[in-house]
């Protein structure tokens, strides 16, 4: 079974290690390759996938660009407008989005309540799109703070979200009244000393999730824990989006613990 990941660049991906370990744990013959694909090579790559792969994951910058090459979209992928998993069913390519359910599985596994939550998402990029849709579908009240207001307003219109802002003072008020805050910006990723939310704006209780997994402990999470809040890093979402993709390709129950171990091993 040939599997892989399409993205550009792909230097830091944990997915090959995670999926190779999962295939081996289940005794499945197969491989998972990092298929680095610059934008101008996407069409050719998708031909190759159609001919020779059982499926692929799709990451930056192709999650939207891949859609015209697919024969069918799952309802989730269609609603979110992004595909992170392609399944090849005898030459017909299906697009799925496991980022959205993967994010929720990570919360569930940690016992974090989200169904009636008053949520604040920091950021309005590709990751925010899947998470906003997932939380809204699950019955949370979803608000967004983003540097560029128009990107947040676009998600608000598409998904019927609550308030969105690019204003620091409004954001402070929204943060203090949230019981679930999710960082999807790349702020703590690019600079470990930076944080997308000032510590004094953290609410008195609740949970802070940072989908950044490298570093595993961001400044945002450190400050949230110091303030007595529950925290969750980015590894659960990474592992669960992979596990759900693996299940789509193989039809087998994914060895989630093995996938966690493989991902952690790569981060150390
Ligand atoms: P991804 O697909 O991983 O979500 P993205 O689409 O590039 O990545 O989105 C990155 C997010 O981080 C965006 O919300 C971006 O804000 P803008 O929409 O204003 O670009 C946010 N972001 C990145 N660098 C930032 C910074 N220095 N300060 C504030 N927000 C930042």
Task: Show me where the domains of the chain are located.
Answer: 2-97+238-267, 101-233
Best residue among 186, 188, 209 to mutate for probing ligand 1, ranked by most atoms within 8 Å of CB: 186
Question: The domain 101-233 belongs to what CATH superfamily?
Answer: NAD(P)-binding Rossmann-like Domain (3.40.50.720)
In whole angstroms, give the CA distance from residue 36 to residue 13: 11
- Mean pLDDT score of the chain: 97
Packing angle of the helix pair 99-109, 126-137 (nearest 10 deg): 60
Sign of the Cα torsion 112, 268, 85, 31 reads negative
Q: What is the pLDDT of residues 77-127, one digit of tens each?
A: 999 999 999 999 999 999 999 999 999 999 999 999 999 999 999 999 999
- For residue 186, the CA-to-ligand 1 centroid distance in Å is 6
- Tell me the mean pLDDT in the region 5-12: 95
The CA-based angle 215-219-224, given to 5 degrees, is 120
Same fold, 2-97+238-267 and 101-233: yes
E strand or H helix at 94: strand 92-96
% of the chain at pLDDT higher than 70: 100
Is residue 136 part of the annotated active site? The answer reads no
Which overall architecture, per CATH, does domain 2-97+238-267 show?
3-Layer(aba) Sandwich (3.40)
Strands 92-96 and 207-210: unpaired
Instruction: Give the pair of three-digit tokens for residue 201.
Output: 């704006």
Residues with CB under 6 A from ligand 1: 60, 123-128, 146-148, 151, 184-187
Say what the pLDDT of residue 268 is.
78
3-state secondary structure of 228: coil
Q: What is the pLDDT of residues 126-161, one digit of tens each?
A: 999 999 999 999 999 999 999 999 999 999 999 999
Cβ–Cβ < 8 Å for 99, 239 = no
Cβ–Cβ < 8 Å for 155, 119 = no
Give CA 118 to chain center in angstroms: 20
Question: 119 pairs with which residues across the strands?
Answer: 142, 180
Phi/psi at 151 (nearest 5 deg)?
A: -65, -40
| pLDDT at position 11 over 90 | no
Say what the pLDDT of residue 7 is.
98
- For residue 253, the CA-to-ligand 1 centroid distance in Å is 34
- Tell me the mean pLDDT in the region 208-230: 96
ipTM over 0.85: yes
């Amino acid at each position: 079974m040939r599997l892989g990941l399409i993205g550009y660049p792909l230097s830091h991906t944990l997915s090959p290690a995670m999926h190779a370990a999962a295939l081996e744990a289940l005794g499945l013959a197969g491989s998972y390759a990092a298929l680095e694909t610059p934008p101008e090579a996407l069409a050719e790559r998708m031909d190759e996938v159609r001919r020779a792969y059982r499926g692929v994951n799709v990451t930056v910058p192709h999650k939207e660009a891949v859609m015209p090459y697919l024969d069918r979209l799952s309802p989730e992928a269609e609603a979110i407008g992004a595909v992170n998993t392609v399944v090849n069913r005898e030459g017909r390519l299906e697009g799925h989005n496991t980022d959205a359910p993967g994010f929720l599985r990570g919360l569930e596994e940690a016992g974090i309540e989200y169904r009636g939550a008053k949520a604040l998402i920091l950021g309005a990029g590709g990751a925010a799109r899947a998470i906003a849709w997932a939380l809204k579908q699950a019955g949370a009240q979803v608000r967004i703070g983003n540097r560029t207001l128009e990107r947040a307003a676009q998600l608000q219109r598409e998904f019927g979200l609550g308030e969105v802002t690019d204003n620091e003072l409004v954001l402070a008020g929204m943060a203090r009244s949230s019981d679930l805050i999710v960082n999807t910006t790349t702020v703590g990723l690019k600079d470990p000393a930076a944080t997308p939310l000032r510590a004094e704006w953290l609410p008195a209780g609740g949970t802070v999730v940072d989908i950044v997994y490298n570093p595993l402990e961001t400044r945002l999470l450190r400050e949230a824990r110091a303030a007595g809040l529950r925290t969750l890093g980015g590894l659960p979402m990474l592992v669960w989006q992979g596990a759900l993709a693996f299940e789509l390709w193989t039809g087998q129950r994914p060895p989630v613990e093995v996938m966690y171990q493989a991902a952690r091993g790569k981060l150390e």
